[in-house]
Amino acid sequence: MSENSFTAEVDAKAADSGANASAQFRERQARTASGGVVDHERVSLLAGKAIKALNDLVIEEQVSYEEYNALKAWLIKVGEDGEWPLFLDVWLEHSVEEVANEDREGSKGTIEGPYYVTDSPEFAWNGTIPMRPDEPGTPFVFKGQVTSVSGEPLPGAKLELWHADNLGFYSQFAPGLPEWNLRGTFVANEAGEYEIHTIRPAPYQIPTEGACGQLIEAAGWHAWRPAHMHFKVHAPDHQLITSQLYFPGDPHNDDDIASAVKPELMLDPQPNPDTEGEMVTYNFVLDPQR
């Protein structure tokens, strides 16, 4: 990796990352928005409860005008920095995901996070994810099978994979990285099998020089996420599963800032007997479409 590329990558700014996350979200919403009729009763219920909870907090904790104005200024900055996707995905999405997947029988899901990008390049079941020729990091082979809850293989299932690099940065959200670095979609073979060649990702801190970082500092929290690999796995007539998979021994598996780690999502990497690096087997089980 060239020195210029390295310098650009580590100089990534929260505001730039946030603006990109906001733009990606708006584009996806434009593609998927149904334009249906608003359920006014549901909006009234949810908005009313949220507003009441905040007002109850003000009374219970005797919030001062100084604290209120600090909150107002901070909320404005969240918008100016484009960090609403980051804020919501880090501190709220895990509860939404829990509700969405509470009846799932197959593989466990977890949050998508703010760094997903649609339409990544497509590869065969045993392909290598796009990466730089001198990509730093431990070579990592991820293999397994996609099946239904009844145990039937799902040929042609698609696995979208994206993850941070060895420095903890995502392509399209940090400068100096190729557009599709460490992002790809892999098509399972006739037996539902996949063997993906990539590198082991690094833990990272969520951006801390923007509004979310201000909250973390003011609250005395840490900003770390454990190392993880993101997946979206889908097959015809089956429910999409969005997941993240984690590595044992990471110091932040137990205190992930995004509260997204689950025991079922822990990998068990082993030395690769055929070459340098590590390998792991992990199977995805998809529920039938509702």
- How far apart CA 266 and CA 15 sit, in angstroms, is 32
Rounded CA separation 86/98 (Å)? 18
Confidence (pTM):
0.88
DSSP 276: S
- Could you please report the per-residue DSSP string of 99-157? HHTTT--SS------TT--SSPPEE-TT-B----TT--S-EEEEEEEEEETTS-B-TT-
What is the rounded distance in angstroms from the CA atom of residue 177 to the CA atom of residue 68? 40
Contacts of 46 (CB under 8 A, 6+ apart): none
pLDDT digits (tens, 9 = 90+) for 97-132: 999 999 999 999 999 999 999 999 999 999 999 999
Separation between Cα atoms, residue 259 and residue 73, nearest integer Å: 26
The model's pLDDT over 130-151, given as tens digits with 9 standing for 90+, comes to 999 999 999 999 999 999 999 9
Cα–Cα separations (whole angstroms), residue 62 to 68, 72, 118: 10, 16, 45
Q: Under a CB-based contact definition with an 8 Å cutoff, are residues 246 and 227 in contact?
A: yes
Question: For 153-195, what is each residue's pLDDT tens digit?
Answer: 999 999 999 999 999 999 999 999 999 999 999 999 999 999 9
Contact call for residues 176 and 6 (beta carbons, < 8 A): yes
> What local confidence, expressed as pLDDT, does residue 27 receive?
77
pLDDT, averaged across the chain = 92
Best CA proximity match to 207, nearest among 219, 224, 220, 221: 224
Q: Domain 3-28+86-286 is of which CATH architecture?
A: Sandwich (2.60)
As given in the structure block, the two tokens for residue 55 are 């007002």
The ranges assigned to domains in the chain are 3-28+86-286
Lowest mean pLDDT among 2-16, 173-187, 246-260: 2-16
**pLDDT average, residue stretch 19-28:** 73
User: Cβ of 269: how many Cβ atoms within 10 Å?
Assistant: 19
Check pLDDT > 90 for residue 3: no
147 strand-pairing partners: 153, 285
pLDDT at 222 over 60: yes
Mean pLDDT of 50-57: 97
**Parallel, antiparallel, or unpaired: how do β-strands 158-162 and 224-225 relate?**
unpaired
Host H or E run for residue 197? strand 193-199
185 DSSP β-pair partners: 122, 160
Q: Give the pLDDT of residue 37.
A: 73
Pair 21, 115: CB distance under 8 Å: yes
Nearest to 138 by CA among 166, 162, 161, 163: 166
Kindly give the pairing relationship between strand 278-281 and strand 139-148: parallel
Token pair for 260: 């997204």
